[in-house]
Structure 1
């Protein structure tokens, strides 16, 4: 059952990585391709140890247990691509190419040694789960076990070192979590390989430890799961963060609608986008939410610029005073004052009142907060307090108009 689980974990990781590479051309880097190759080859290494496949390979080659050396060779090649992935991340594509040469030579030499030792071992019946343990008293099998364990232990130690090094370079927390999971997976794999090396050394001395196949398979399974989690957690977490970000962009677009709709009615030559941006809009244009939010932010700013001649400082002061009376915090006071000013300006422009020669400036907002500010402004613009401010403004202006003009 363990080979099914481990191969399934590798296949799941390969599907996740492959889908990311297929949908995001910028992710098709040497490191991304090496990650995909590692998952595919790791899956193939586990699939050949599944009992029906194991027997099919023996029948095809005419030699029992051939799937063992195929699985181990594929595992070493898969681990080599994992090294390439880490090298690309830590040294870049150019530095990884030079550092990969001697690692490729070591991997090729280790596979050649395994093939020779397997060929020198007398043929026995198929034993998919315990070929090495059942034949550990044979010197060639003992040497095979030691050689494979040493080669794979060297790879795992190298991966652990590169993983720790890269974790000091990354800035995103999800990548750091993935690297830590990857390091835990290499630790379990190293424990399994050390057990195999001890078994081989005991076999060379003519001794045999009690059977521990379940423990060995459990270490392999746990190690593979952690390694695959280390590969897919950063990708999945990044995708979730991106999904939340785009949903927030759509939400901000939707929140701007009250102000956007009124400005679009007055200045259709400036605000040309679709007036409404409901649930169907953000679902259909999900990939364009960032562009749509930027466009809507710019258009609202342009519409407010057109409205500047009608912005009245009195409306700002009355709005601020009403917000303070309501006990709002400083940020909300600014929002209410600005929203009252905008609502009063739109009313004056629609009534055909003349604008002011001296334009009143809008509240300055940091560039990275503009969309949030405009969304809050649009919601405040349609709130009950703005109606109260406009009513108070009408009373004050009425009183001012009734005052006699002195000579």
Structure 2
């Protein structure tokens, strides 16, 4: 069982490294910091609750069941961190946010202190590593300690469920998906962990024995709920950036036909290569360099080449947009051939501006690159294709 719990803690904590990959930025962002704190505390709860950890802690301190208040205190701190995270997620005036955070910390700090005091006052000399909640369900002070930590955790998860239901109707996109995952994880915790714990304890009070609910059902359900919640916290923060990186990498590759045609032209100096350079940074450099090369080739544009290619595309049944792209690709290939061969610019000088240079974004450049690739594949732009001269 300890191995499963440690694995859940490792997977849970791994999501923190994704958000904390830029420590300087993360420390200045209360939302990122509170998210990481919640994930770390959740991982520590798993580590502390493992039977192997409990046995080691009990042996090191020389106090039977000392791992119990440690675990319950850690779980209460995790519950507090969830509420702090929700407060920072909602945002608002800084003074109001700070005041709400301190109230939450004070309430759960008092709860942790009460758990510790109750444990000190209790008679719990028999070490229990897996069934402490039910074994001591009728023991004075231990009974109150167990109920107190459960009620504190229940309060946090119920508030989280209510907030997720409310916000889920107000937001869209990945944020709504994240809230649904958080709600699912919280419900798994409420129904699979807390309800089973309450039921097993109540059965002990009634003279019955449903300990398996507390020892067998509750731990894996708590792990599943926590992992689902962490996915909900991390997903809206990480996935949009990941998708943007993926799109940037795709556009970078789709610009290759245009870049291959223009790389001989003078461009901005290439920054030093590094393995960690993001696709967005590489795409930005390639886009700037292509614009510089297009500006350098502008004197070689020949309107006659463009008009002939456009009329040929229209006769072939292409639409106006596709015909324009094909005409620009043909004119650009011809200009690159002339410039590479160091020919004189054609006369009279063209005043035509490529559509890709008149609009923002990478989309038009990508379409122009694809038009060049199609012209090369069809053979229509073969004579305009050049290679960088070797010097």
> Shorter-chain TM-score: what band?
0.7 to 0.9
- TM-superposed deviation, 1:156: 0.7
Change beyond 3 A, Cα 1:90–1:197? same
- TM-superposed deviation, 1:131: 0.9
Deviations 1:50-69 (A, max 9, x none): 23321222223332111111
Q: Distance in 1 between matches of 2:23 and 2:374?
A: 39
Contact 1:309/1:358 (8 A) holds in 2: yes
Contact 2:87/2:100 (8 A) holds in 1: yes
Contact 1:178/1:231 (8 A) holds in 2: yes
Q: What residue is the counterpart of 1:403 in the other structure?
A: none
Q: What residue is the counterpart of 2:290 in the other structure?
A: 300
Deviations 1:200-251 (A, max 9, x none): 45655x5334323312233323222322333444455346424413422431
Deviates more, 1:27-36 or 1:138-147: 138-147
Change beyond 3 A, Cα 1:291–1:74? closer
Which residues in structure 2 correspond to 1:180-191 (within 5 Å)? 180-191=180-191
Change beyond 3 A, Cα 1:230–1:10? farther
Q: What residue is the counterpart of 1:47 in the other structure?
A: 47
2:380 to 370, 374, 385: 385
Deviates more, 1:301-310 or 1:48-57: 301-310
Q: TM-score, normalised by structure 2?
A: 0.82
Deviates more, 1:105-114 or 1:75-84: 105-114
1:325 to 315, 340, 347: 315
Contact 1:258/1:381 (8 A) holds in 2: no
Change beyond 3 A, Cα 1:170–1:17? farther
Which residues in structure 2 correspond to 1:118-129 (within 5 Å)? 118-129=119-130
Change beyond 3 A, Cα 1:40–1:189? same
Gaps of 5+ in 2: 386-391
Q: What residue is the counterpart of 1:70 in the other structure?
A: 70
Change beyond 3 A, Cα 1:319–1:389? farther
Instruction: Name the SS of the counterpart of 2:290 in structure 1.
Output: helix
Q: Distance in 2 between matches of 1:346 and 1:46?
A: 63
Q: What residue is the counterpart of 1:315 in the other structure?
A: 305
Change beyond 3 A, Cα 1:357–1:198? closer
Gaps of 5+ in 1: 391-407
- TM-superposed deviation, 1:91: 1.7
Q: What residue is the counterpart of 1:399 in the other structure?
A: none
Q: Aligned pair 1:21/2:20, yes or no?
A: yes
2:225 to 223, 226, 231: 223
Q: What residue is the counterpart of 1:131 in the other structure?
A: 132
Deviations 1:16-40 (A, max 9, x none): 3235313364343222222222222
Q: What residue is the counterpart of 1:402 in the other structure?
A: none
Instruction: Name the SS of the counterpart of 1:366 in structure 2.
Output: coil
Q: What residue is the counterpart of 1:375 in the other structure?
A: 369
Q: What residue is the counterpart of 1:395 in the other structure?
A: none
Q: What residue is the counterpart of 2:239 in the other structure?
A: 237
Contact 1:17/1:36 (8 A) holds in 2: yes
Contact 1:136/1:199 (8 A) holds in 2: no
Deviations 1:248-295 (A, max 9, x none): 243144232233135x1xxx3xx2446xx9xxx98x566254344334
Q: What residue is the counterpart of 2:389 in the other structure?
A: none
- TM-superposed deviation, 1:128: 1.3
Q: Distance in 2 between matches of 1:56 and 1:288?
A: 44
Q: How many residues align?
A: 375
Contact 1:84/1:100 (8 A) holds in 2: yes
Deviates more, 1:348-357 or 1:132-141: 348-357
Change beyond 3 A, Cα 1:10–1:163? farther
Deviations 1:49-100 (A, max 9, x none): 3233212222233321111111011011012112212211112582432112
Q: What residue is the counterpart of 1:396 in the other structure?
A: none
Change beyond 3 A, Cα 1:7–1:388? closer
| Structure number with bigger Rg | 1
Instruction: Name the SS of the counterpart of 1:352 in structure 2.
Output: coil
Q: What residue is the counterpart of 1:140 in the other structure?
A: 141
Contact 2:6/2:50 (8 A) holds in 1: no
